[in-house]
A and B are shown apart, each in its own frame.
Chain A
Amino acid sequence: MRARMATALLSLAGVFLALYLELHKLGVIGPLACGTGGCEAVQFSSYSRVFGVDVPVIGIAGYGTLFVLSLVSLQRPADERWPALLRWLALGGVLFTVYLTCIELFVLQTICRWCVGSAVIITLVCLAAWLGPRRAGAPGDE
C-alpha cells in the first residue's frame, strides 16, 4: 500500500510540474525558474510537440492518469487490474522520458532541469509500481 501512496504523491507532483511547464509555454506565467539556458531551448524546440500536442500536456495527462490509477488501486486493493495498468503506464512513461532525454542530450545538446525533475519522478513512480507488491495486502505489503 505504501508503494501506491508513493506513486500517488509522486504523480501529483508530476502533474504540477507538467502544468508549470505548459503554463510557461502558453506565456501566462513569465520565465521558467531555470538555472541554465537549457529549459527554454528544450521547451521551444521542434521536439517539444508530439503529434501536434505539447509534451507538457502529455505529461499532465500521463501523470494525472497515474495519480487516478494509484488512488483507485488504494481504494480497491483486491482488484489487480488497476495496479497492472499503473505499472504498464508508468513503464510507458519511462520509455517516453528516455526518448525525450536522448533528444535533449544528442540532438539539442542541452538539458532542462525541469525535465530532469520529471525524469526522476516518473522513474520513481515506475520503480514503486513494479517493485511494490502486485496488490495491496499481498505478502510484503504493510
Chain B
Amino acid sequence: MAAAPSGVKNFYYLLGCLAIAGVLGIGYLLLRRPPVSIPANVTIQVSDTSGFHGYYMGSDSAPLTVTEYADYECPACQQFMVVQMPTIEERLIRTGRVRWRYRDFPLDQHRQSRVAAHAAACASEQNKYWEMNQRIYAWEPEWPFKRDASGIFRDYARALGLDLAKYDACMSSARYAGRIEAGRLEGQAAGVESTPTFMINNRLYPGGGSVHYDMLKSLLDSLQAKPAK
C-alpha cells in the first residue's frame, strides 16, 4: 500500500524546506550586489586607445609577443596567472624570448572585474601595474566572493606602497573605464569569446590549458628553427 500519511506529510515538509532554502539562497545571491562599479557603457576617448595597446612585460626586441585577453574575476585566468605565469615570466620573458601583452577582457557576468582592472590601471600610474596584477590574481583573500572588493584592492595598493591619495583619486574618477572597455572591444574584434584567450602570431588560443610554458617554448623553438626567407 502507499506510504503512511505521516510519510507523505514528512515528504511535503521536506519539499517545502528545500523550496524555501532554494528561494532564500537564490534571493541572497541576487541581493548581494557590489556597490562600487566601473561603468561598462562608456564612450571610448582617443586617449583611451592612442599610445596605449595594453600592459607589456619583457623586451620589445623579443622574437615573440603573446597577447593575453583576461578577466581578473575569471577562475581559469586566475589559475593561469598563478600556476603558469611565474615559470613563463622567469624562463621566457625575463630571458628576452617572449614579450607579454596583457589586455583587459572583462566579462559581463563578473561584477567586480572592471573594478579590479581599474585598480590595476591606477597602480600602473605609479609604475606598479604587474605587482598589482599579481596581487589581484592571487585572490587572497578571495575577493570575487566579497560583496565589495574595492577595499581589498585598496589594501593591496597600501601593501605595494602606492600613494593612497593618488590611488583613491584615480579610482573615484573611473578614468580608465574607457581603456578597459577598449581592451574588451579589441578582443571581441579579434574573435575572443572566453577568457583567458591568447593571441600568438595572429592566432587565437582559447582556454587556460592550451597555453603553458612547454607550449610556448616549443613554439619559440620551432620559430627559431625556421630558415630565414
Q: A1-B2, A5-B11 are in contact. Are A23 and B74 (CB under 8 A)?
A: no
CA distance A33 to B145 in the complex (A): 8
Contact string, A29-71, partner B, CB cutoff 8 A, digits 1/0?
A: 1111110111111001110000000000000000000000000
* Nearest CB on B from A91, distance (A): 24
Specify the chain A residue showing the minimal Cβ separation from B21. Answer: A16
* Nearest CB on A from B168, distance (A): 24
Q: A12-B18, A46-B193 are in contact. Are A23 and B30 (CB under 8 A)?
A: yes
Q: A24-B109, A36-B75 are in contact. Are A110 and B209 (CB under 8 A)?
A: yes
Please tell me which one of the listed residues A9, A19, A108 contacts residue B26 in the complex, with CB atoms under 8 A apart.
A19
B29 A141 Cβ-Cβ under 8 A: no
What is the number of contacts between chain A and chain B, taking CB atoms within 8 Å? 106
Number of A interface residues at 8 Å Cβ cutoff, please give it: 41
Specify the chain B residue showing the minimal Cβ separation from A108. Answer: B207
B18 A141 Cβ-Cβ under 8 A: no
CA distance A38 to B207 in the complex (A): 10
A137 B1 Cβ-Cβ under 8 A: yes
Which of chain B's residues have a CB closer than 8 A to the CB of A44?
107, 193-194
Q: A39-B75, A41-B207, A77-B2 are in contact. Are A31 and B15 (CB under 8 A)?
A: no
B110 A31 Cβ-Cβ under 8 A: yes
Q: A9-B14, A16-B26, A30-B110 are in contact. Are A45 and B194 (CB under 8 A)?
A: yes
CA distance A39 to B11 in the complex (A): 33
Number of B interface residues at 8 Å Cβ cutoff, please give it: 40
Specify the chain A residue showing the minimal Cβ separation from B147. Answer: A30
Q: A13-B18, A41-B76, A44-B194 are in contact. Are A25 and B2 (CB under 8 A)?
A: no
* Nearest CB on B from A112, distance (A): 10
CA distance A23 to B26 in the complex (A): 9
CA distance A113 to B194 in the complex (A): 19
Q: Is B73 an interface residue when CB atoms closer than 8 A count as contact?
A: yes
Which of chain B's residues have a CB closer than 8 A to the CB of A110?
76, 207, 209
CA distance A95 to B111 in the complex (A): 35
CA distance A40 to B144 in the complex (A): 13
Which of chain B's residues have a CB closer than 8 A to the CB of A81?
none
CA distance A39 to B25 in the complex (A): 19
Q: A12-B15, A16-B26, A137-B1 are in contact. Are A37 and B208 (CB under 8 A)?
A: yes
CA distance A2 to B10 in the complex (A): 11
Which of chain B's residues have a CB closer than 8 A to the CB of A19?
22, 26
Q: Is A114 an interface residue when CB atoms closer than 8 A count as contact?
A: no
Contact string, B77-96, partner A, CB cutoff 8 A, digits 1/0?
A: 11110000000000000000
- Sample of 23 A–B contacts (CB below 8 Å): A5-B11, A9-B11, A12-B18, A12-B22, A13-B18, A20-B29, A27-B107, A27-B108, A27-B110, A27-B111, A28-B30, A29-B26, A29-B30, A30-B33, A40-B75, A41-B76, A44-B193, A44-B194, A45-B194, A74-B8, A110-B209, A137-B1, A142-B7
Interfacial residues, chain A to chain B (CB-CB below 8 A): 1-2, 5, 8-9, 12-13, 15-16, 19-20, 23-34, 36-41, 44-46, 74, 77, 108-110, 136-137, 141-142
